[in-house]
Amino acid sequence: MPSLLFEIPNLKKETQVLLDLLPDRIGHGTFLNSSEGGSLDLVDFVRKHQIPLELCLTSNIKSRTVPSYDQHHFGFWHSIAHPSVICTDDKGVFATHLSQEYQLAAENFNLTPSQVWDLSYESIDYIFASDSTRSELKRKWNHLKPTVLHF
């Protein structure tokens, strides 16, 4: 079960109730962090349960839940090596595409091509699909890696 959560600050009690349902993923997660109207308890809960976050940089900028790309909460979650998935939210509405979102993350958080690749590869673990589909996607990613990263 995915949950679109934490797009409104200072709703700690409501957020915890939703987290207690142990969602498979968290959409946005903008206001989980204590510096953004969440709390350390919420962050600790998400970390303890390794609940991946779907992070939509452009969507959060255009909806004004984040002031700038370089202040996006992706930086926080990435810095603590928490499972994160870069997403578009809605490419038609927000006039973006997934490659652009990865580029924005790379530029604003100084990610190397290998780190961008790893984000993409690791996101396969969090898709809503069968184990066989995930395995097949990982096989395809591994096959492409030498040509994409020029190893």
Which residues participate in catalysis according to the annotation?
Answer: 7
Closest CA to 33 of 44, 25, 20, 49: 44
The 8-class DSSP code of residue 151 comes to -
Q: What per-residue string of b and e applies to 56-82 under the rule 16 or more CB within 10 Å gives b?
A: bbbbbbeeebbeebeebbbebbbeeeb
Q: Note whether 120 and 141 are within 8 A (CB).
A: yes
